[in-house]
Amino acid sequence: MAALLAGHGLAAWLAQIGRDLTGDAVDIRVANLGQGMTVSAPVAIHPEQVRHNHYQQPDLKWILTAKNGSAPDGVAVLDYEDERKHNTAYYDRLKAMRKDGINLRNLPQDERNALEQQAPHDYWPAAAIINQMSAINACNKAVERWAACKLVYPELVAIIWTMASGQPGAIDLAMDQWEALAKQHSLEKNPLLSATQVVNPEQGKGANRAKADALTIGGQENFWLLEYFKYGGLFRGALPRTVQGRKDRKTYVLVPAAGGIELEWHKKAFATFQKEFWASSAIKMDIMVSLRYTALMLTDWEGAQRSTGRRRHPSDYVEGFTVASYKDLGSAVAVMNVSMIGLPDWVEWPKKSDEAQQITQSVEDHQRIIGALDESKSEEERLLRDYRDFLTSRDPALRAFFAFTTGYAGHVIRQLSKRQRVRRLTLDHLKVIIMANESARPKKLTPIIENPGFKNIASAIRQATVQQQFYKTERNDNTYDVRYGLADELQRHARDSREFLRALSEFLTDYSKENARVMERAKGKGYRKRIPISTEDIAQLTELIDAYDAQTVANMLIAFGYARDVRAEEPSEQRAGENTSTTDEQDEQGNTSDEGPF
């Protein structure tokens, strides 16, 4: 994660150098090589070209608080207290408008634009986490050291080139060059700066000695220039957020793919995403950062495609986000985990604009499903964990996804029984996800999806569960019984093929008897019919179990049986769900005057 931050910060600086040397914008590209980051330009740039008049002011601002006194000369200042007052005024105005019954979405566009201008600045989340994690002194020292190098700027650029060369021992060599330069020009000779965990979450106190001859509690230190660029990357490529309802924190850092992304496109897209990505609960926020960034890329798919060339998936452009999770311990904040959340690999990159709109709609449907889940409830937290595992595992067998669909089946029934609207996955959603992983499977799942017997039995499950539950609660229609717990029952017996066939046969027998009983009662009068199940359907499903296994067929039946068939005559109310786009109520969730909307 530290390397990612340094890469983002170095890219922004190289773009400025390139503009100064060439007189025009330079197409800087940032890429992830696995073992490190690479920053490149299409034109040759050499440190020998840099003159004193090319000096750039620090890309970072010196953060002024009530505790650290006045700022040194020659640096731009970020007044932390003024920013907090600015944010407080913004949220006070939002509260007043809501109290007066004003819906922000109904405001005229010019008033909305004026209100947005008063929102917290895009640099505020990074500044806030630097302060909250006691890293202001280290950040400010990096700014001061850069500003002190104005008269030796060409020499400083040469040291940066050495540091970023990627050669073995490059950073040690750069530190030696700095010590020689500092001695010659009376600069601060010590090349090291505190390695704070806000930009170095992988480094901790006590157990990072190069030679394991002692266990000490002292903090870590790195080359100050490297730390400077890491702080720059925190403002350029990171999304620090506070976990909703807690004081825990997460920082998301964008990970480019190996093919790289164009810096200018990234700046525009990331600025938009910074405004749209709101704080949420811990697991849900991990999922949403992936889905919402994917939706943003699809919205601007032409710009992204120009930026990075033709590829197959959004993850071929941006791999995802590295996530640092921080636990609030009261008097301190500790790093709990550093992980990776990928972009959904089931999303195919569109070839034309109408395809982009369709895929974007599918991703937004997933956002609404996830957004409606409540992480404070244990059953729904389990669903969120399964979905996050699905995003991160890249498992062709889709074990985590089927764990999610099985659990979500029970969730749908529970919500409908309480007369609460719930959004369901559609058959098209499922087919897209399954087909996206077909090439990576030793045994394709397409024959299951296309099997007529499978389709009919999945329809029977749908009509006996979610559809009948809706008719019962919303229309007081008790023509048929609701088969509660069917998904759990089928999943529980799926470990053994014979037990699974027995459980499924019991359901189909009861289902067919009920169909016959309702038809006999109707005596030719109009009634709501259900799909009949034939012996051929059962025989085809049995063949699928023999060809695959009971667990695979059970997972597929449950997923498709509880999904919505948009092509069938289903009650329109079942399509309703909780909209997870930013609402007036969401604006305040998890926000404090110290965090803004982040």
Bridge partner residues of 256 (DSSP)? 318
In a domain, 448, yes or no: yes
Q: Which residues lie below 8 Å from residue 75, measured CB to CB, with a gap of 6+?
A: 57, 58, 61, 62, 143, 144, 147
Dihedral (Cα; 34, 40, 42, 47), 10-degree rounding? -150
Instruction: Summarize pLDDT for 73-85 with one digit per residue, the tens.
Output: 889 999 999 999 9
Q: What is the mean pLDDT of residues 552-578?
A: 74
CA atoms 296, 299, 303, 307: torsion sign: positive
Query: From its phi and psi, is residue 181 left (phi > 0), alpha (psi between -120 and 50) or beta?
Result: alpha
Amino acid residing at 438: E
**pLDDT above 70 coverage of the chain, percent:** 91
User: Which of 105, 122, 139 represents a domain boundary (last residue)?
Assistant: 122
Q: Tell me: the pLDDT tens digits for 223-280? A: 999 999 999 999 999 999 999 888 899 999 999 999 889 999 899 999 999 988 989 9
Which H or E run contains 241? strand 238-242
Residue 436: inside a domain, yes or no? Answer: yes
The whole-number pLDDT of residue 39 equals 96
Judge contact between 419 and 473, C-beta under 8 A. yes
| DSSP-derived secondary structure letter, 61 | P
pLDDT of residue 578: 36
Q: Examine residue 434 and state whether it is found in any structural domain, yes or no.
A: yes
Does residue 54 lie in a domain region? no
Per-residue model confidence as pLDDT tens digits over 441-499: 889 999 999 999 999 999 999 999 999 999 999 889 999 999 999 999 999 999 999 99
Contact 313, 348 (CB under 8 A): yes
- Mean pLDDT to the nearest integer, 495-521: 95
Q: Which DSSP helix (H) or strand (E) runs through 192? A: strand 192-194
SS3 sequence of 331-370:
CCEEEEEEEEEECCCCCCCCCCHHHHHHHHHHHHHHHHHH
Instruction: Give CA–CA dist 224/184, Å, rounded.
Output: 18
C-alpha distances in angstroms, 319 versus 19, 125, 289, 340, 491? 28, 23, 12, 9, 33
pLDDT in tens, 107-159: 888 888 888 888 899 999 999 999 999 999 999 999 999 999 999 999 999 99
- For residue 305, name the pLDDT band (cuts at 50, 70, 90): low
Residue 339 domain-assigned? no
Stated pTM of the model: 0.88
The confidence score (pLDDT) of residue 591 equals 35
CA 2 to CA 99: how far, in whole Å? Answer: 44
Structural domains in the chain (count): 2
Q: Of how many residues is the chain composed?
A: 598
Query: What does the pLDDT read at residue 588?
Result: 29
Burial (CB < 10 A; 0-12, 13-18, 19+), residue 318, is: buried
Q: Classify residue 83: in a domain, yes or no.
A: yes
Q: Report if residue 535 sits inside a domain.
A: yes
User: Can you tell me which residue has the tokens 């090589």?
Assistant: 33
Instruction: Please write the tens of the pLDDT for every residue from 322-377.
Output: 999 999 988 788 899 999 999 998 888 777 777 778 888 889 999 999 999 999 99
Kindly tell me if the per-residue pLDDT of 586 is higher than 50: no
Looking at the predicted structure, is the pLDDT value of residue 580 above 70?
no
Q: What average pLDDT does the segment 574-595 reach?
A: 34
526 falls within a domain = yes
Q: Give yes or no for a contact between 230 and 37, defined as CB atoms under 8 angstroms apart.
A: no
Query: Using one digit for the tens of pLDDT, what is the confidence trace for 195-231?
Result: 999 999 988 665 566 676 766 666 789 999 999 999 9
d(CA 549, CA 566): 29
Instruction: Quote the domain boundaries for residue 112.
Output: 63-122
